[in-house]
Amino acid sequence: MTSSPAAGTGGLTCGIDVGGTKIAGAVVDAEGHVLEEQRVTSPATDAEAVEDAIARLVGDLGSRHRIEAVGIGAAGYVDSGRRIVMFAPNVAWRDEDLGREIHERVGLPVVVENDANAAAWGEFTFGAATDADDMLMITVGTGVGGGIVIDGALYRGASGSAAEIGHLRVVPEGLPCGCGNRGCLEQYASGSALVRDTRALAHTPEAAALLARAGGDPEAIDGPTITAAAAAGDAFARNRVAEAGRWLGEAIASLTAVLDPGVIVIGGGVSEAGDLLLDPAREAFARELTGRGHRPVPEIRAASLGNRAGVIGAADLARY
C-alpha cells in the first residue's frame, strides 16, 4: 500500500487538525458535512506521541464510519509531495514523513497539508468563498497563517511553503519573531501580539476595567478576555482589537497588490471579535490599497466554518 490519496473518492474521509495544544478529528462527507468530530489533547513535545494520538483518533472514528482516506492539517511547512512536515514551530516535527507514519499506523491513504491551507480550502469549497475563483484567506489566532486559491486551485508554491502570511515583513528591524526574522506581521496582528501588548498596558488608567475583569492580574488577560470586553463596549479593549485590525488591513493591501484576490476571508480565533476587528481592517485596506478608486475592491469577509474549517478542508483535500 502507498500513502497517496484516494483520488476522486466520493465517500467519507477523515480530517485531522493538529495544533500545539489539541488535535481535532472529524468524519466528513463529500458535501462538507461533519458526521462526527472529536478533540484530544496534543502531546506536542513528543512527535511519536502526536502520531500515536492521531492514529488512535482515526481508528476510533473509523470504527463507526467507513473512512476511505485521511487528510491532516499541520501547523508548519509541508513539502510539495504533501507528506513531509519539514518544520513545525509548535510540534516536535523536523523533516518528519508524517504521511508515511500515519499510513503505516492506520492503513489508509494519507495527505498532509499546512493547517492554514486546509482551512482556506474548507472556506473556499464549503464556506465563505464558494462564489469566488480566487481567494486569499488569513487566519488570525496564536499566530498568523494564510492560504491562497488561484483559478480554483490551492496555491502551494514550488516547495509547498507558500502563503506564510504571518512572516510578511511589515516593520524593518521590528520586533523579533519566532521564525528568526524581525518585524513579521505575526508580531503585530496575531492573538499573541494582542495579548502581549494589552498586558503591557494593563496598569494604565485606560485599562482599569479590563484589568478588573481579569481579577487584577495582567497575566490572566487572554484573547477571549479582551474580545469579550471589547464586545461589551470597553473602549480600551476595542482600541487594542482595532490596532490588530489596522495592521491586518495594511498587510492585506500589500498582498492584494500582488495577488488581486476576488475575496478575502478572515478566520482564526481572533476573528471571533467580528466587525470590531474586521471594520478597522477594511478601513486600513481601503486606505492603503494600490490603485484605490480605479480598481475593484475585493470584499473582506468573516470565515463561516469556524473552528471546523481545518478538518473540513483537510478531509476534502484527502479526496484528490
Q: Which pLDDT band, with edges at 50, 70 and 90, does 105 fall under? A: very high
Helices 191-200 and 235-259: crossing angle, nearest 10°? 140
pLDDT of residue 3: 42
Vertex 102 angle, CA 101 and 107, to 5°: 110
Q: Which pLDDT band, with edges at 50, 70 and 90, does 8 fall under? A: low
The predicted model gives 100-129 an average pLDDT of 97
Looking at the predicted structure, is the pLDDT value of residue 5 above 60? no
pLDDT of residue 282: 97
Looking at the predicted structure, is the pLDDT value of residue 284 above 70? yes
**Burial of residue 252, with CB atoms counted within 10 A of its CB: 0-12 exposed, 13-18 middle, 19 or more buried:** buried
Please state which of the ranges 83-97, 200-214, 244-258 shows the lowest mean pLDDT. 83-97
C-beta separation of 318 from 30 below 8 A: no
Measured between its terminal Cα atoms, the distance across the chain in Å is: 17
Per DSSP, the residues of the chain read ------TT--SEEEEEEE-SSEEEEEEE-TTS-EEEEEEEE--TT-HHHHHHHHHHHHHHHHTTS-EEEEEEEESSEE-TTS-EEEE-SSSS-EEEEHHHHHHHHH-S-EEEEEHHHHHHHHHHHHSTTTT-SSEEEEEESSSEEEEEEETTEE---SSS----GGG-B-STT-SB-TTS-BSBTHHHHSHHHHHHHHHHTTTSGGGHHHHHHTTT-GGG--HHHHHHHHHTT-HHHHHHHHHHHHHHHHHHHHHHHHH--SEEEEESGGGGGTHHHHHHHHHHHHHH-TTTTSS--PEEEE-SSGGGHHHHHHHHHTT-
The predicted model gives 125-140 an average pLDDT of 96
Q: Which pLDDT band, with edges at 50, 70 and 90, does 9 fall under? A: low
Domains, the chain, ordered by start:
12-124+308-317 (3.30.420.40), 131-303 (3.30.420.40)
Residue count of the chain: 320
- Sheet containing strand 84-87, edge to edge, reads 77-78, 84-87, 94-97
pLDDT of residue 91: 80
C-alpha 225/C-alpha 26 separation (Å) is: 28
* Averaged pLDDT score across all residues of the chain: 93
**Which sign, positive or negative, has the C-alpha torsion 98, 102, 107, 110?**
negative
Task: Tell me the β-bridge partners of 184.
Answer: 169
pLDDT tens, residue by residue, 158-207: 998 899 999 999 999 999 998 889 999 999 999 999 999 999 999 999 99
Q: Sort strands 94-97 and 144-150 into parallel, antiparallel or unpaired.
A: unpaired
pLDDT of residue 254: 96
Q: Of 220, 258, 78, 213, which is closest to residue 157 (Cα–Cα)? A: 78
Q: Which pLDDT band, with edges at 50, 70 and 90, does 21 fall under? A: confident
Q: Which pLDDT band, with edges at 50, 70 and 90, does 142 fall under? A: confident
Looking at the predicted structure, is the pLDDT value of residue 64 above 80? yes
Higher pLDDT, 62 or 45: 62
Whole-number percent of the chain with pLDDT over 70: 97
C-alpha 282/C-alpha 252 separation (Å) is: 9
As a dihedral over the C-alpha atoms of residue 6, residue 7, residue 9, residue 13, rounded to 10 degrees, the angle is 40
Single-letter residue type at 202: A
pTM over 0.95: no
pLDDT of residue 19: 79
Higher pLDDT, 21 or 141: 141
